[in-house]
Structure 1
Amino acid sequence: MVIRILLADDQALVRGALAALLQLEGDIDVVAQVGRGDEVVAAARAAEADVCLLDIEMPGADGIEVAERLRDELPAVRSLIVTTFGRPGYVRRALEAGASGFVVKDTPAGELADAVRAVHAGQRVVDPSLAADSLIGGSNPLSEREREILRVALAGEPVAEIARRVHLSQGTVRNYLSDAIAKTGAANRVGAARTAEAKGWL
């Protein structure tokens, strides 16, 4: 049986390289390629894909959001995150969103093909070192609102601008930032945002 694959990555060169490698496998066929996250569900439906390989950072929607949409809208389609960003927090978030696996882009071609086969068979596949780091790092301590505020704070915006962009009062934003700073152990809001980003919590 041939496994029908969709590749989603905003870098055409990466998509092409992955497609070329996977096409060498006799039981894998790359049936669709997209460069935006918000194109995946429709393309997967149209191409009747079995497994979607998703990058994390893409325009339109990130790979974790896409995994969640696939789970909700096309539950028979499996998703495998294939990314440069091997952050432990991403692993946990991806699996919670419905992804069946998480590997990094420098995974050898043979291992990537095996990961596709395993995910297609209903198994979970996680890069072993990332799995260990994810367990050691624990779950994401930040609330959804704290993550939203820290994403704006990452650019070094003043509290007034953060408040305007997230539609909250400055006092409320300060309270959220104070909690986020405490949870990340950072010295200030930019430090908290950078720590959270590095851990894959945003």
Structure 2
Amino acid sequence: MVRLDNITLRYRPNATPALNGVDCHLAAGSFSWLMGPSGAGKSSFLKLLHLAVRPSAGQLHVMGRAIHTARRQELPALRRRIGVVFQDFRLLPHLDVLENVALPLRIAGRGERQLLADATEMLRWVGLGERLKARPEELSGGEQQRVALARAVVARPALLLADEPTSNLDEAQSRRVVALLQQMHRLGSTVVVATHNQWLAEENPAAMLRLEAGRLVEHG
């Protein structure tokens, strides 16, 4: 599903690398925790995987495509097969919950009736079937995170990435979000979850990727 070969990522020429010499592969259908202290490179690692940035050096393959040599116009179709749960939710405040979740399907050109049915199903799946017409500001942090998760998975992504999805949640809400991510894994998505919560990883054993100062120090 994903292969990184000697990846280096710099955001500016001659800057300290955000990632340095990273080698790893993620098998299709795997679930991985991405751990490390603040500034270790977790968000940069996820940006590479959802094609927001390209490596400064090395080779990156995602779903069989060589991203380091791909033309820019080839990337949007690939991104539509990748779901991302952002730490800050990134819900659109002028849209209700249903329209926020339906947005990826609308962008992909899905028919109106089908996209609304699919978005409604996803919101029921995350336990928010009664909040379809609510605006994001009317929801709690945990509810907003579940809306963000529903939006990320509504198109049934092959690769699902979550950047600190429990950082603003209490323990009960954190467990609920992780359970939903695990359910997507059981349905076939390759899942990578970046987190500071060591207890979550210990409570839900899975493959571990650990970054320190931009280097991958644990992979297994």
Q: TM-score, normalised by structure 2?
A: 0.31
Structure number with higher strand proportion: 2
Query: Quick check: which has more Rg, 1 or 2?
Result: 1
Please, what TM-score do these two structures have when normalized by structure 1? 0.33
